[in-house]
Structure 1
Amino acid sequence: MKRPLQRRFEQAAATYEAAAQVQRLVAARLAALCPATLGAPVLEIGAGSGLLTRALLPRTRGPYLALDLAPGMLARAAMPGARKVAADGERPPFRDGAFAFLASASAMHWYADPAASIPADLRLVRPGGGFAIALYVEGTLAELAEAAAATGFGSVYPMRPAAFYRELFAAIPGIEWSMEEARQVVTHESVPTLLRSLKGAGVTHTEGRRAGSPARYREFRKYYAERFGTVEGMPASYAVLYCCGRRTGGAG
């Protein structure tokens, strides 16, 4: 899974910053949930083009490590003062307890094994340190999923339900946490504009087989516009889970 995912974000490196509309909103919301002053060092997983990085960097006076799976994305990212680390968030090259704060926006839902990888990531936080995570859950791009199923054009990556993450965090020892779910809607001018925006942000990775005939594409556009279109345009909805907390004890 990781190679196709990495390749798609590498291909989107030049367009991500402009296309990542919902990711920008999610990063801003997560930043608002983070403390005004962060301990150091800080680790951000899935830094991408630096949407969250630039919001959090001024809050810490120590090292800030920005990790991302796609080296090409990091190479283009504007994040002066951060140390860029090209690595897999599911296999971070750091020891447990190495960081005072862990942040991640719009990244961990891509994990192949979140049940193992998220607890492992949180073990990187030292006792007394904090974390703030935002990821997408079931219900994301529901309009696109319905149109794809109805017309046979495309497919949507299956997000896990919010309950999966609630149970996961509840089972992690040595942390205190709170969680909220929010719905974010981004409206696009047209169905082609919506699809171009998703592609520009690297959101094209799916395990399903994607049919792409011109006839099915026309049917998809028609279905989406008639079923979901409004006077404002074509909506795309996202179900976002925000989880913030701190480590109270050892790694467990």
Structure 2
Amino acid sequence: MGGAGSTYQGLGQRAHIGSFASGGGRGITTAAVDPVTGALTLLSVVDGLGDTSCLALSVDRQVLYAAGGTDHGVAAAYRITADGLAPLGRPVPVDGLGPAHLSVVGDRLLIANYTSGNVSGLRIAGDGRPQGPAVVLGHRSRGPDPERQAGPHAHHVTPDPSGRWVLSVDLGTDSVRVCAPDPAGGPLRVRAETPLRAGSGPRNVSGSGRNSLVPRKRHARRDGCPRRLRRVLAVEARCGLFGRLRAARVSRAPASYVLQ
């Protein structure tokens, strides 16, 4: 299930909540948030994308993006209105299976596809709707856990604090890829990859501080791309090294990255 928050033209905070149709979910729910108690008041429900697994807001927070699908992945856009959400065009195929996360990076919508182990990119039109065809970066390799690491499983994609790089976290390969957006609109280009402890199964990455990706000189390239993330902490207990613990929560620490 995905979630996002927005504010509509002075009418207060909104919560947008995705759901899984395969588990009985109704679609994407929009609710008003009480600023004092945090209580939710239902405003509307719109049809989702089958299993609507992830949501993200546009830079101006006026458009909500969703990705999901019970089979092949799709992405869709919704205009935020006084009553809830209004669809912007039809869903667009992402050329991937099992979307797990999406982010807005410039004029692109990036989607991490867990089942197919790739990261898709869709162009965002001037009115906010995503447009195909998708461009795809495929991950490769595997991890030591035969049950969940038999191949790549892209789980999270997000820009770094500087906005120059894109980080792609892969649960199946135990690594974080540092990518550069293609100015010509092609797929992301991998510039470096940081391996994590074998079997840790990272799921998400969160960063703060403008120097989070500034490497030591021996780890830097001439273009400034870090060969390895400067400060990376793999939370092993929550990645699955100890028993079968699972976590989707992301923690923040000043000028650092925390993977879980």
Q: TM-score range by the shorter chain?
A: under 0.3
Instruction: For CA contacts below 8 A with separation 6 or more, give which structure has more relative contact order.
Output: 1
The structure whose residues are more often helix, as a share, is 1
TM-score normalised to structure 1 length: 0.27
